[in-house]
Amino acid sequence: MKKLLSFALVCVMMIALVPQAFAAKQELVVSVSSNIESKEWFQEGMRRFSEKHPKVEIVLEPHEGISARPKIVSQIYTGNAPDVLYANLYWVKDFAKNGWITPVNDYFDEETINDFYADFRNYATVDGKLYGFFNATDIATIVYRKSLLEAAGIEIPAEDECWTWEQFVEAGKKLTQDTDNDGKIDVWGIGVSASNEGTTTYTNFPMYFMAGGTLVDENGNSTCGGEAAVKTMQFYYDLLNTYKTTPPESYAYSHSEMVSAFNAGQYAMLFDASWSIDTLAPQFPEDVYAMLYPVPQAGDASQSLCGGWVYTIMAEEDETKQLAADFIREMIAVDLCVARYNENMALPVRHSAFDRIINEENDPVRKSWMTVFSKQMEHTNLKPGDAIYDIIQDEYTVHLAQVMKGEMSAQDAVTDMENKIQQRGKEAGLIK
C-alpha cells in the first residue's frame, strides 16, 4: 500500500512539474518591420538561432516601419520594450543618447565590426560606442543606357572612376538629340526631377555634399544652405535652362515618370538609386549600367546618400542581452546578407558580403552594378536622424523646383529656404 501511495505521489509531482517545464522556455521579443518578417533570409536567420538556442522562444512583434517610433517609445516608458529592435536609422542616435539601446562592442569581435563600411559604423556610433548593425541599404547613383552613350561616341568612365561636373554636362549635351530630324528633341541627355522630397533630395543631395554642404550639426540644428546649396541649385538650373540637357518640365516629373521615360529611351542618363535595378535592368539586360556620381573637380571623392535599418539591443537583463546579440549575429551573417541581396536586391553593408556577390555574380551587367555600388559606398552620407531633416528635405525640394522653373535665383532661393527652415523649425519646437 505504501509503495502504491509513493508511486501515486511521484506521479502527482511529475504532473505538477509539467507546466513548469513548459514555462521554463525563455522568450526573446524581437520587433522588426512587417515587410521583412516573412522573407526567406529572415526566416533562415530565426531557424539558425532557434537551432542554437532550443530553449528560447522568439516572439515576433512586427512594426509598421518608420511610423512605429511613437509606439516603440511608448513601450519603453511602460516597461514593455522588445529585446531586439530593428530600428530606422533615424532613431539610433536619439535612442542611444537616452540610454534605450545597449552598445554592441562587448558582444562582437573587431573583425566583424570592421567588416562593415566605415560610414555605417560611424553613423551608429555615439560617444565612441557602437549601438547596432545595419543589415542592408540602398544608394543613390547615376544610371545610363550604354548603347546611347556609345552611339554618341562618348567614352564611358571605368567602374572605379568618375566624371567631373563639367564632363558630365558635356556628355549630357552630346546625348541630347533630335534623332528623327523632326525639329523636336526626342532623346535627352540627363534626367533630373524636383517633384518629391523623398526621391529628389535622395538623388540631389550627393551633389550638394560634394559642393561642401552639410545638413545638421551635432545639436540637431539645420546647416542646410550657404554657398554649397547655391552652387548645387545653380547646377540643376543650368542643366535645364542653360545647357538644355533635360526637358523643360522635368522639375515636375515623378520618379515613376522619369523611369518610364528612361525605359522608353527618352533619357540617356538618369539620377536614380539602387532600388531601380529590378525596374530597369530586366527590361534591358545588356544596356543599363551605373556610374559613380560626378565630382566638382578631378581628384575629388564621389559621394552619395544612403538609408537603412539597424539591429539594436533593447534587452535589460545581461542574459537576455547576450541572446539578443546572438540573434543579431545570425541576421548579419555574410551569407544571409548575400541571400537578402538575391531575394530583393537590398545592398549589403559588409565588405565581405559585397565581395562574395561580385565574385559569384555571373551576369556581367549586374556584376558591374555591384562593383559601382561597392565603390560608391566607400564615401557616402546617411540621412540624418534629426527631426528637422523632414523640414530640410521638404524646403530644399520646393526651392530647387522654383530655381529650375526660373522663378527664383539660386541665391534668393537658398536665402528663403534657410529662413523657412528656421521658421518651421521654431514652430515645431525643434529650434529654440
CATH of the domain at 243: 3.40.190.10
Is residue 416 within 8 A of residue 408, CB to CB? The reply is yes
Ramachandran region of residue 151, left (φ > 0), alpha (ψ -120 to 50) or beta?
alpha
pLDDT in tens, 99-156: 999 999 999 999 999 999 999 999 999 999 999 999 899 999 999 999 999 999 999 9
Residue 407: inside a domain? yes
Cβ atoms within 10 Å, residue 105: 14
Q: Which of 359, 360, 350, 167 is nearest to 269 (CA)?
A: 167
Same domain, residue pair 167 and 126: no
Asked if residue 219 and residue 356 are part of one domain, the reply reads no
Q: Average of pLDDT values for 227-235?
A: 98
Model confidence, pTM = 0.88
pLDDT band at residue 23 using 50, 70 and 90 as cut-offs:
low
Say yes or no to pLDDT of 22 above 70.
no
Note down the domain range covering 165: 140-306+387-427
Total tally of structural domains belonging to the chain = 2
Question: In this structure, is residue 69 part of a structural domain?
Answer: yes
Handedness of CA 351, 356, 358, 359 (dihedral sign): positive
Domain boundary among 374, 396, 411: 374
Task: Clarify whether residues 61 and 150 are in a common domain.
Answer: no
Mean pLDDT in residue range 185-190? 96
Q: Specify whether 238 is located in the same domain as 341.
A: no
Q: Is residue 381 part of a domain?
A: no
The pLDDT tens digits for 369-404 are: 999 999 999 999 998 878 899 899 999 999 999 999
Please check whether residue 45 lies inside any domain of the structure.
yes
Same domain, 106 and 147: no
One domain for residues 269 and 172: yes
353 within 8 A of 377, measured Cβ to Cβ: no
Q: What pLDDT score does 9 carry?
A: 46
Residues 385, 132: Cα–Cα separation, whole Å: 15
34 is a domain residue? yes
Most confident of 7-11, 28-32, 262-266: 28-32
**pLDDT score at 24:** 61
Domain shared by 270 and 361, yes or no: no
Beta bridge partners of 265: none
Q: Which residues pair with 289 in a beta bridge?
A: 144
Whether the pLDDT of residue 16 is over 80: the answer is: no
285 and 212 co-located in one domain? yes
Q: What is the pLDDT of residues 109-122, one digit of tens each?
A: 999 999 999 999 99
pLDDT, the chain, mean: 92
Question: Which of 330, 352, 374 lies at the terminal end of a domain, its last residue?
Answer: 374
Residue 3, domain member (yes or no): no
Whether 248 is in a domain gets the answer: yes
Q: Clarify whether residues 128 and 171 are in a common domain.
A: no
Residue 133 CA: distances (Å) to CA of 255, 306, 329: 30, 14, 9
Q: Are residues 413 and 317 in the same domain?
A: no
Task: State residue 21's pLDDT score.
Answer: 45
- In tens, the pLDDT along 46-104 reads 999 999 999 999 999 999 988 999 999 999 999 999 999 999 998 999 899 999 999 99
Give the pLDDT score at 279: 84
> Is 149 found in the same domain as 285?
yes
Instruction: With respect to residue 46, please indicate whether it lies within any of the assigned structural domains.
Output: yes
Query: Do 113 and 52 belong together in one domain?
Result: yes
